[in-house]
Amino acid sequence: MIWDTVVVGAGIGGLACAGALAAQGRRVAVLEQAEAPGGYLVTFTRNGFRFDAAVDCIAGLDEEGLFTWLLRGLGVQAAVKPLRLDPIHISRFPGLTVPVDGSVAAYAERLGRLFPAERAGLAAFFARAEAIYADIEAMRLALQAGQGAGARLPRAWIRYAPLTYAELLALDIRDPRLQAILSDRCPFLGASPRQVSATRMVALMMSYFRSGAFRIAGGHQRLPEALADGIRRCGGVLHTGCPARRIVVEDGRCTRVLTEDGADFPTRHVVAAGDFHETFGRLLAGEVGERVLAQHAATPVSPSFFIGYTGVRREAPPDASSIGSFPTFDLPGLLERYTPFADTEALGLAISTVEDPGMAPPACDVVVIHELIPPGWAEAGGLDKEARLAQLIRKADRVLPGLRRGLVHSEAATPASLARHTRNHGGAAYGWSQGPRFVRIRHGLANLHLAGHWAEMGGGVLPAAMSGIRAAVAILRATE
């Protein structure tokens, strides 16, 4: 049997691609090295506490969202129950706590009351953000309609794509405190406002306002599980615990995928939806892989995270389910000189039980603590995981008083843990660094397609899924 497409990797990019193809009746095989699909969207249980391994919240689950469209097309929409966050987030700065409302109008009005001299600047900034996001949405809708990138020229996106987020803010916002507040999600992408792409940052921020910020009842893994079920219902196959060993290239085309257990998958198209370095350093070892790796030897990768998973007895209801705490308004200085585990309150907390109490035993909360780890950072003598987890819990206790006193369960994931589970280079959270330069990977193989957060659409759950749809559209159009 010759498969229409073999997808290597069942992260959200690979699943989105396979789902879109399976819904169109294409014969699809998905090969995943881990024991469950989902990549960073996995969920695990300890002592009655359910933890989302790496992801706080996602967009695309509104009635017209990309994931809703995919689930509906596969006939499995009922398997996923979205829980909308409002407020989306709370940001704590010295002397000032700012909720991020679920509505952009409500958020802009809140900021205008706090900074009345900046009302005109806020209106101008959000108008630019709306224009950029309208271009991104037009691109998404065109992809869903099978039209490639679409016919509309993305004028706002093109205009602002060369800018950093700090440069975009400076066009309209003068008060450095307000610039910091509007940059409070830069740590989500692991970069300073002076380093991160303006359009990527706007895409993240506006997707939560326009589509909604969601968690999923029972944990984020319900989404990849539902997509996997839908792929199988439509005649595709998904093999977990099945690492690919090699992508075979003959006469300039990918012809088959071989697995570590000796299976052979002849195919017309291959979608590489895993780590870039795995794809071109191992699966495509040889002239093609060496050439592509050399082209990107100096391309920076994104940071990783040290993640603390804690289960606690609740003493008081948390203010919100997502909290960012900053010891200063100087976010560029903080993030550009970031030293992991410094004794400050610079960290993020995700408390999924605010919206989904079933993630923990009665009267308890799940609290996931994120500590940014810059690429290449290493402690002399190695990382003492237990000592660092204890330090992280002490920091989190200052943000969420009573956490240490009510602690029931704790464990941690390091960048090495994330790398082992996903095979992402260095445990990279977003593939490539999310700066203004968009990575273009030119491999010269007509039937090899890339998906996931190492592809050109960028990092994060929704962009990774969009990259999968883009690959599916290219395959469908090539075989019309």
Q: Which two tokens stand for residue 373?
A: 């780890």
Range of the domain at 242: 3-75+217-300+430-478
Domain closes at, from 211, 241, 256: 211
Residue 233 and residue 185 in one domain: no
Is there a single domain that holds both residue 235 and residue 202?
Answer: no
Residues 252, 345 within the same domain: no
Same domain as 391, residue 283: no
Write down the pLDDT at residue 343: 82
Residue 26 falls within a domain, yes or no? yes
Q: Please tell me the predicted confidence (pLDDT) of residue 457.
A: 79
| End residue of a domain, out of 151, 177, 211 | 211
Quick one: residue 460, left, alpha or beta (phi over 0 = left, psi -120 to 50 = alpha)?
Answer: left
pLDDT along the chain (480 residues), means of 10: 97 98 97 97 97 97 97 98 97 97 97 98 98 94 79 84 98 98 92 96 96 98 98 98 97 97 98 97 94 95 96 92 95 91 87 97 97 83 87 94 96 95 94 92 96 89 96 91
Do 288 and 388 belong to one domain?
no
Report yes or no on 94 lying in a domain: no
Residue 53 is assigned to a structural domain of this protein:
yes
Contact 12, 41 (CB under 8 A): yes
Name the domain count of the chain.
3
Instruction: Write the CA distances from 289 to 89, 208, 279, 444, 445, integer angstroms.
Output: 42, 37, 8, 11, 11
Residue 255 and residue 106 in one domain: no
In a domain, 378, yes or no: yes
Report the pLDDT value the prediction gives residue 283, as an integer from 0 to 100: 98
* CATH number for 27: 3.50.50.60
Long-range CB pairs of 154-157 (<8 Å, 24+ gap) are 155/131, 156/128, 156/131, 156/132, 157/132, 157/199
Measured CA to CA, the distance from residue 206 to residue 37 in angstroms comes to 28
What pLDDT, on the 0 to 100 scale, is given for residue 40? Answer: 97
Both 415 and 308 in a single domain? yes
* Domain boundary pick from 211, 236, 263: 211
Which pLDDT belongs to residue 319?
85
pTM summary value: 0.96
Identify whether residues 385 and 417 lie together within a single domain.
Answer: yes
pLDDT attached to residue 381: 67
Are residues 117 and 52 both part of a single domain?
no
CATH of the domain at 172: 1.10.405
* Residue at 81 is within a domain: no
Cis peptide bond upstream of 340, omega within 30: no
Give the C-alpha separation, 480 to 469, whole Å: 16
Is 71 domain-assigned? yes
Q: Please indicate, yes or no, whether residues 189 and 294 belong to a single structural domain of this protein.
A: no
Kindly state whether residues 309 and 419 are assigned to the same domain: yes
pLDDT of res. 150: 57
Burial class (CB in 10 A: 0-12, 13-18, 19+), 116: exposed
Identity of residue 7: V
**83 domain residue, yes or no:** no
Are the beta carbons of 76 and 227 closer than 8 angstroms?
yes
Residue 149 in tokens: 């990138």
Cα–Cα distances (Å) from 195 to 335, 408, 418, 431, in that order, read 10, 39, 24, 16
Domain membership flag for residue 134: yes
Residues 352 and 413 in one domain: yes
